[in-house]
Amino acid sequence: MSGTARLATLFWEEIASRLGSPATPDGESDCEAILTDACARGRAGNQGISLSEPAFVRDLARIAARDGLTAAALAQLAIEDLYLACACRLRAPRAAMLLDLRHRAGIRKSIARVARSSDDVAEIEQQLIVNLLVGSPPAAPILEAYGGQAPLERWLHVVAHRSALTWQRKRQCETRVFEKAARQALLSAETPAEVRFLKARYHRDFAEALTEALQVLDERDHLILRWHFVDAVTVDRIGKMFGVTQPTASRWLAAAREKLLANVKARLRNRLGESSGEIASLAGLVASRLDSLLSESRDPQYMRRMNQRRMRSTRDR
């Protein structure tokens, strides 16, 4: 790639490899000037970020091939923001820090328009930053989707807002599903009258114990239970997302379930005392019916009702 058109040559070769067919250089001398200027603009707009020209040009070619852009159209993109996004994806030194410095406050503000508590905002924010920079295997980093058609600040506002809504929807779904599991396990009519009385009397204690037990699970166990029972993600898919085999993921799921149930039973003993055999039998009912009740979230009608409630909630705000 020697000569005066080295960046243009690289650009067109990268496009050809991505499209799987030869690309037709259109005004290659102009393309070289456009790419040279783009590299200069990117460096000037992101002082302290070291990103090689070939790396940035390849990324511009990726975007051009994906979005059907001509070389001339590149000059109209938010080049400085694209340069920073590319540097973050390639994990260039100081890139993530600069992204954080410029955009963390805006991301937080966008999330706070949806989430109600500071803890929720912090959790969504942290999760989003990780997904932006690293992704959630097998999903690629979200920054790969940024194409420079709009300023990065505006694009991140949309992404943060959507992420908060998605997080809120899943959390509401998860809460309702787990509460429903506890409530139905306790109020089942398939037991003697005196046990049904105890269920009705203590159902709030069971629901609260289950909620508390979920809150103290470690992140991996909580994710696995949520993905499998609430989002209907298969054990095989969970294994791929964590980069482990299906048997390993299956063991993790079983261990997380057992840990959750043990925690529920322990909290019930603390709340209600260990002397009651009836209370102990109710804890067993929770364990025996938890899987089938949680799996109701997979029913399309149930999910449709949840989405309708979410839409009404959003509209009311």
Does the pLDDT at position 299 exceed 50? Answer: no
Q: Report how far residue 232's alpha carbon sits from residue 149's, in angstroms, rounded to the nearest whole number.
A: 35
Which residue range(s) make up the domain with 27?
1-92
- Per-residue confidence band for 257, with pLDDT thresholds at 50, 70 and 90: confident
83 & 177 share domain: no
Domain membership flag for residue 114: no
- Per-residue confidence band for 53, with pLDDT thresholds at 50, 70 and 90: very high
Per-position DSSP letters for the chain, written without gaps between them: --STTHHHHHHHHHHHHHHTS----SSHHHHHHHHHHHHHHHHHHSTT----HHHHHHHHHHHHHHHT--TGGGGGS-HHHHHHHHHHHTT-TTHHHHHHHHHHHHHHHHHHTT--SHHHHHHHHHHHHHHHHT--TTSPPGGGG--SSS-HHHHHHHHHHHHHHHHHHHHHHHHHHHHHHHHHHHH-SSS-HHHHHHHHHHHHHHHHHHHHHHHTS-HHHHHHHIIIIIS---HHHHHHHHT--HHHHHHHHHHHHHHHHHHHHHHHHHHH-S--HHHHHHHHHHHHHHHHHHGGGG-HHHHHHHHHHHHHHHHH-
- Give the end of a domain, one of 71, 92, 113: 92
73 & 199 share domain: no
- Give the end of a domain, one of 61, 92, 123: 92
CA–CA distances in Å: residue 313 to residues 15, 55, 137, 299: 45, 45, 31, 21
Q: Report how far residue 86's alpha carbon sits from residue 275's, in angstroms, rounded to the nearest whole number.
A: 62
Domain membership flag for residue 182: yes
Q: Which residue has the higher pLDDT, 219 or 224?
A: 224
305 & 196 share domain: yes
Domain membership flag for residue 44: yes
305 & 175 share domain: yes
Does the pLDDT at position 316 exceed 70? Answer: no
Report cis status (omega within 30 of 0) of the bond before 138.
yes
196 & 78 share domain: no
Domain membership flag for residue 290: yes
Provide the number of structural domains found in the chain: 2
- Per-residue confidence band for 277, with pLDDT thresholds at 50, 70 and 90: low
Does the pLDDT at position 60 exceed 60? Answer: yes
- Give the end of a domain, one of 92, 113, 130: 92
Q: What is the pLDDT of residue 152?
A: 96
Q: What is the pLDDT of residue 203?
A: 63
Domain membership flag for residue 310: yes
Q: Report how far residue 49's alpha carbon sits from residue 98's, in angstroms, rounded to the nearest whole number.
A: 9
Does the pLDDT at position 315 exceed 50? Answer: no
On whether the CB atoms of residues 16 and 22 are closer than 8 A, the answer is yes
Q: For 13, phi and psi rounded to 5 degrees?
A: -65, -40
Averaged pLDDT score across all residues of the chain: 77
Domain membership flag for residue 163: no
Q: What is the pLDDT of residue 67?
A: 92
pLDDT, tens digit, 9 for 90 and up, residues 302-312: 344 444 443 44
Chain centroid offset of residue 278 CA: 42
Q: What is the pLDDT of residue 263?
A: 83
Q: What is the pLDDT of residue 310?
A: 39
Report pTM.
0.58
Domain membership flag for residue 121: no
Domain membership flag for residue 181: yes
